[in-house]
Amino acid sequence: MIYIGTIDTIHLNQEGLPVCAVIDGADNYYYPCSSLSVTAGFHGVFSSPSLRVGAKVALVANNNPGNAFYIIGGIADARDALAVGVDGIDTAYAAEQVTGSLDVNQTRTLAAQNVDYDDVHLEDYHLENTDNFINIGENGITLSSENRVSVQIPTTGLFRVSSAGTANNQVLNATPHLDRLYSYISSLQLKIDALEKAVTAMAPINEMVIVAEIVIQEAAVDSGVLAAIPLLEQAQKRLADLTTATTTISALGPLTPATTIRSASDQDINDNVRIP
């Protein structure tokens, strides 16, 4: 026989095992009540239901005095049961046409691929505890938590995410990777700064050399040496390029230190995800 009642108290028995006292609507008292595991009753192979005072449960009697009753399931709170969708279920849709008291669509609209799924449908498998839930259904598998979602693997373990059976890429650990990357960028910066100083220091000398060459080639052109014309044009172009380069370097100003960029990159770290 199955009994329905509400958990009144929960405590530990002499063996340290949690047991419940249940009271039904007629004030009948059921004690002790123990929970069942839906998986094998073996050490390290078990499941534990969520039990709390006030929960409405279903009991079955047992002939063992030490475990007079077993809790075989719970009765969903009406507020939770009302949240379960029945769209697309033919019989529910037909009932809505008769009573007119429900809002049931003839077809079920699935959630968009990149949108959170927070609903519960009668055809879904839904496991929820205090706003944390796992949902398996036509919308896929949804794991939602108001606190944290933890995947715990040993040092030799593997957390694998595949697409079309392929999982060839790996995840970089951000902090050591960024430290290594910006250490290399810092060495490049030092070299660039040194080259900039060298170019800036040599610019006046180079300019004097080019200007002197221009004067010589201009004199040659004025003397009627036609072969000096392309040489003059080349010298004039080198002077223009040198002027442009030095002006650009000056306008750009000094490079931002790599250490500054490294510190600023910390703001891009996502604190919602942690990996080894």
**For 199-248, what is each residue's pLDDT tens digit?**
777 778 888 888 888 898 898 888 888 888 888 898 888 888 888 888 88
Residue 170 and residue 172: Cα distance in Å, rounded?
Answer: 7
- The pLDDT value recorded for residue 66 is 66
Cis peptide leading into residue 18 (ω within 30°)? no
Residue 120 contacts by C-beta under 8 Å, 6 or more apart in sequence? 83, 84, 85, 126, 128, 135
For the chain, percent of residues with pLDDT exceeding 90: 28
7, 57 contact by CB (below 8 A) = yes
C-alpha closest to that of 119 among 77, 111, 106: 111
CATH code for the part of the protein at 2-75 = 2.40.50
Q: What is the largest CA-CA distance in the chain?
A: 126
Confidence at 48, pLDDT banded by 50, 70, 90: confident
Please determine, for residue 263, whether its predicted confidence score (pLDDT) is greater than 90. Answer: no
Number of helices and strands (H, E) in the chain? 5, 10
**pLDDT digits over 125-170, tens only?**
999 998 899 999 988 999 999 899 999 999 899 889 899 999 888 8
Q: Where are the domains of the chain?
A: 2-75, 77-171, 174-268
Residue 180 and residue 130: Cα distance in Å, rounded?
Answer: 43
Residue 246 and residue 252: Cα distance in Å, rounded?
Answer: 10
Please determine, for residue 107, whether its predicted confidence score (pLDDT) is greater than 90. Answer: no
Please determine, for residue 100, whether its predicted confidence score (pLDDT) is greater than 70. Answer: no
Q: Which two tokens stand for residue 33?
A: 């009540």
